[in-house]
Copies of this chain bind each other. A is one copy, B any other.
C-alpha cells in the first residue's frame, strides 16, 4: 500500500493563516519535505508549519539549486521526486511544504509532473498567497467590480513593466527589490507616484508599510516586499 503525496500551502508567515485542512494533514503525515535553495539554509515554510507536526515526524530537506541550466535542473527535480517516491513506496504519507500557495511560484510544482508519471496519489491544499495577505493587511482591494489585475515578479525588463502598467487597473509586483529604482522611475513617469503601497516583511515585527515614492527608491528594500499599484488611487488608512 503506497502512501499519499500532499502539497501544502502554509501561507505567508503567520501559522494561523494555514487552512483547517492543511493543519489536519500536517498533523497526520509521516514525512515532511521542504525545499532549500542552499543546503543547510533552512526553510521558512518549515518554521511556519513546525508547531503542527508530530514529534516523531521525519523531515527531509530537498535541494533546489538556483541555477539556469535546464537539463541540470530537471535532473535535480527527478532526483528529488525519486526521494519522495521511495518514502511513498514504504507506505508513508508525505507532505511537501510550500510558502504561500502551492500553485503560485512554488518549487513543489516542479516535482509534481514526475510524481504524476509514477502514478502516485496527489492532493494539493491551497494556501494564502502573499499578495492577498498584504492587501488584507492594508485593507485595500486587489480588484473590485470590473477591474483586471496582474501579478508580476519584477525583473529588469522596462518594456514588460510598462505594458502591465498600461493595460491593467491594478498591478501587483512581487520581488520589487530586483529592480525597485527602475520601478520607482516608471511610476513617476506614468504619474502613479502616489498610487501605490509598498509593504515589506508583512506580518513580522519588522513590517514596514509605505505610500511614499522615496522609500521605493531606497537601495536596500527587503526581498520579502510587495508593491500594489492601483491606478484608481489608494485610500490611505
A-side residues, CB < 8 A to B, are: 7, 9, 11-12, 14-21, 23-24, 101-106, 109-110, 112-113, 116, 122, 124-129, 132-133, 135-137, 139-146, 148-153, 155, 160, 163-164, 167-168, 235, 237
Chain B residues with CB under 8 A of A143: 103-105, 151
Least CB separation from A25: chain B residue: B16
A140 engages B103 (CB within 8 Å): yes
A116-B235, A152-B148, A168-B150 known; A124+B139 contact, CB < 8 A = yes
Least CB separation from A16: chain B residue: B21
A25 to chain B, nearest CB (A): 10
A20 to B109, CA, bound (A): 25
Chain B residues with CB under 8 A of A16: 19-21, 24
B153 engages A146 (CB within 8 Å): yes
A196 to chain B, nearest CB (A): 15
A104 engages B24 (CB within 8 Å): no
Least CB separation from A125: chain B residue: B136
Least CB separation from A236: chain B residue: B116
A112 to chain B, nearest CB (A): 5
A218 to chain B, nearest CB (A): 24
A116-B237, A136-B126 known; A14+B18 contact, CB < 8 A = no
Chain B residues with CB under 8 A of A128: 19, 101, 126-128
A227 to chain B, nearest CB (A): 15
Chain B residues with CB under 8 A of A24: 16
Least CB separation from A73: chain B residue: B145
A178 to B9, CA, bound (A): 31
A19-B128, A128-B126, A235-B116 known; A155+B150 contact, CB < 8 A = no
A140 engages B18 (CB within 8 Å): no
Least CB separation from A113: chain B residue: B235
